[in-house]
Structure formats: C-alpha cells, structure tokens
C-alpha cells in the first residue's frame, strides 16, 4: 500500500531535508539578496530668505520644516509652518506682514500649495488683510473643490475660515519705502503707460542700488519644497508680489505650473523673481517634466532659464548685451532627494538636510549681473 503524505507532513519532511543538506554542506544558498530600502534622504529647499529670518525665534524656515518633517509631520504642514516664520517676520519685506505694497500702498498677497501624495492643490491671489496667505491657500485645498480664489472673494473665504482680517498689513518700514518710491517716481507717469512703467521700474531699481531694498526682494516671494524619507513631496510658494505693482496684478506665485509645481515621486519646483517671465513658459511645470525624463534638478533648472532668456526679446527687458535684465531663481528637487538652486544671475538659496540649514550658491546661467543700457 502506497503511503501518502498530507501537505503538512510534506512541508515538514522537505524542511528537514533542506536543513540536513545545509548542515552537511551539500546545499549552497541560492536565494536572492533582499533589497533593503534605506529611504530617501529628506531635504527642504527654499529661497534664501528661508534661512535668514527667524521672527524673533531661534530657527529659520528650512530648519523648522526639516525638523517637523523628519519627526513625522505631514510634509506640507511642515513646509507651511516654516514659511509662516517668514510671512510673520516684519523684517522681511517680500512676503506676508510688512511685504512691499502695490502702487496704491496696499499690501496684496498671493500663495499656492501642492500636496504630492494627495494630488491636491490650493491658492489665493490679491488677498488683503491676512498675514499668512499660505494657510489660506491650504484651506482652499482642504475644504473646497477649487484651486484658486482671488481678491475680495479670497478675503471673504479667509474670514469664514476664522482668519483675522486686518485693515492694513504695512509696517512702518514698508510704508516708508512706499513713500520713498512715490517720491522717486515721475509725477507725470500716469499720462503715458510706457513712461509710467519705466519710471516705476527705474525708481525701484534705484532704491535697490541705494541699499534700501534687497535686490531679490524687489520681486519678493519665498518658495519652499520638501521630500521626506518616504519619498513624499510637497511645496508652498507665498509672496507680496512685485514691489509697487499695479493694483490687482497677479504674478506666477499662485499659478500652478508657474510659481509652483509638484508631482509626487517625480519632483517639485518653485520660483522667485520676475513672475511674468516665468508665467510665459510655465517653467516650474517644465522643470518637473524634465526631471521626469531623468534630468538632474540643476540641468532642468538651467534649461528653463535658457528658454526664458530666448523668449526675452523686448528691449526694455534686455541689458546692453541682449541678456535678460531681471532675475529668476528656481528651487528644485527630485524623487531621489537630489536638489539644486538655479538662477539667471548669481545669488544664494537655502537648504536643510541632516547636516543642518545652510545658504548655498545657485548654479547661474550668466556669471555676471546685467549691464545697464
């Protein structure tokens, strides 16, 4: 009579045979090695003001964001907590409270955020009276079916969400700078749109030359992007916009694909500088797409800058050598945790890794700043 083994008896006999063979040295291990994931190196990258202002505290934007993110907080929550430091700091004149106002002396704020894992986004533009537009943008993402709310509608939404609405976000510093700009602007510039534009621009640049405004703060903005060890990617951009802008002007910051773009596992890119130049080519979207194709963040950023340069043909926007006479800076990271700051002209960007926060030199398309015509 044939003896039949049930499954349990067969597995026990097989295991005993394998153990015996291994002990006698007749069986060599042939199982493939396990692929043990070490995780993605967490990174937070931002514009230079992300590692300069502390609002009276002891940490900068990138430091707070990195610490929260690596302690397990949601990546976007961490980044927004970081940029809140800069939005609330009256010493930074490029975002939030004390941001440089528009031509009428009114502070109007823009912001956008993107959550990679959730595939969601939110933004506000021309928001008045709220010091932290980044938090309002996050509310748009969390509680509405919309991506962008603007103007009075954005303020009404913020009020409904419980945000304090203030009559004026100017500080004594931002108001004083606005008055100085008005003094330097040709009083007849309203009669000729072209004359008005150039007079206002020259007045702003002369204030930069005199050290009254940081060169990068004339265009404003902080962008901050991060990736955690799980490879989850998020980003936030917030700004008071172009200094002395036409009331109601909206730049690239709250526009998805321009001032910010995030695709989870692929990468994130954001910008500061001349928003109109960035809007024309949706450069942040372009950078993420180039990273999807395998480009390093540095190479992707420089390619976007080349396209901006090639599209800049208006003489008023070119220097004596035919190059753009304005700054654009990109802050990019990919799904591997690789990152880069790239710019039209040399400047700094902020980054925080396990080594701590630091300011690094950007990779610049041009090695020297524009020459005046």
Q: What would the pLDDT profile of 198-248 be if each residue is shown by its tens digit? A: 566 666 666 666 665 555 544 568 999 999 999 999 999 999 998 889 899
75 burial (CB, 10 Å; 0-12 / 13-18 / 19+) is buried
Per-residue pLDDT, averaged over 289-311, amounts to 98
Is 221 one of the annotated active-site residues of the chain? yes
Q: Calculate what percentage of the chain has a pLDDT beyond 90.
A: 73
Say if strands 267-273 and 363-364 run parallel, antiparallel, or are unpaired. unpaired
Q: Give the pLDDT score at 25.
A: 43
pLDDT of the residue at 53: 95
Six-digit token string for 348: 């700094």
The reported pTM is 0.82
Note every long-range contact of 210-214, with CB atoms under 8 Å and residues 24 or more positions apart, other chains counting: 212/177, 212/180, 213/93, 213/100, 213/177, 213/243, 214/93, 214/94
3-state secondary structure of 115: strand
Has residue 5 got a pLDDT over 90? no
Q: Is the pLDDT of residue 39 over 70?
A: yes
* Predicted local distance difference test score (pLDDT) of residue 238: 97
Instruction: Tell me which of 221, 239, 312, 362 is the catalytic residue.
Output: 221
Average pLDDT over the chain reads: 87
Look at residue 47 and tell me whether its pLDDT is greater than 70.
yes
* Structure confidence by residue, pLDDT tens digits, 89-134: 999 989 999 999 998 999 999 999 999 999 999 999 999 999 999 9
Collapsing DSSP states into helix, strand and coil, what is residue 126?
Answer: strand
Decide if pLDDT at 30 tops 70: no
Biggest CA pair distance of the chain: 114
Domains delineated in the chain: 44-364 (3.60.20.30)
Give the span between the Cα atoms of 157 and 268, in whole angstroms. Answer: 28
């Amino acid at each position: 009579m044939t003896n039949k083994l049930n499954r349990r008896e067969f597995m026990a006999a097989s295991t005993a045979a394998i153990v015996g063979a291994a002990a006698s040295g007749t069986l060599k291990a042939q199982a493939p090695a396990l692929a043990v994931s070490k995780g993605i190196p967490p990174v937070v990258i931002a514009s230079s003001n992300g590692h300069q202002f502390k609002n009276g505290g002891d940490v900068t934007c990138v430091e707070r964001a990195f610490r929260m993110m690596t302690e397990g907080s949601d990546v976007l929550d961490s980044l927004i907590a970081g940029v809140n430091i800069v939005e609330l700091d009256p010493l930074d004149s490029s975002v939030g409270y004390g941001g440089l106002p528009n031509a009428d002396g009114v502070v109007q704020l823009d912001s956008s955020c993107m959550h990679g894992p959730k595939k969601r986004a939110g933004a506000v533009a021309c928001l008045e009276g709220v010091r932290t537009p980044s938090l309002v943008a996050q509310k748009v993402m969390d509680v509405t079916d919309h991506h962008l709310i603007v103007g009075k509608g954005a303020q009404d939404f913020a009020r409904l969400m419980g945000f304090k609405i203030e009559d004026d976000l100017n500080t004594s510093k931002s108001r004083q700078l606005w008055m100085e700009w008005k003094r330097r602007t040709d009083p007849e510039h309203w009669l000729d749109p072209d004359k008005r534009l150039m007079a206002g621009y020259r007045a702003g640049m002369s204030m930069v030359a005199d050290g009254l405004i940081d060169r990068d703060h004339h265009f404003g903005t902080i962008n901050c992007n991060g990736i955690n060890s799980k490879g989850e990617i998020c980003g936030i951009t917030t700004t008071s916009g172009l200094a002395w802008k036409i009331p109601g002007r909206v730049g690239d910051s709250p526009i998805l694909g321009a001032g910010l773009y995030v695709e989870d596992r692929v990468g994130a890119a954001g910008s500061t500088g001349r928003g109109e130049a960035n809007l024309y080519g949706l450069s942040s979207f372009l950078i993420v797409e180039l990273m999807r194709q395998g480009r390093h963040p540095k190479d992707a950023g420089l390619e976007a800058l080349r396209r901006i340069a090639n599209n800049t043909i208006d003489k008023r926007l070119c220097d004596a050598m035919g190059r753009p006479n304005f700054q654009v800076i990109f802050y990019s990271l990919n799904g591997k945790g690789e990152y880069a700051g790239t710019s039209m002209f040399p400047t700094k960007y902020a980054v925080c890794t396990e080594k701590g926060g630091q300011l690094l030199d950007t990779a610049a398309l041009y090695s020297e700043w524009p020459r005046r015509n």
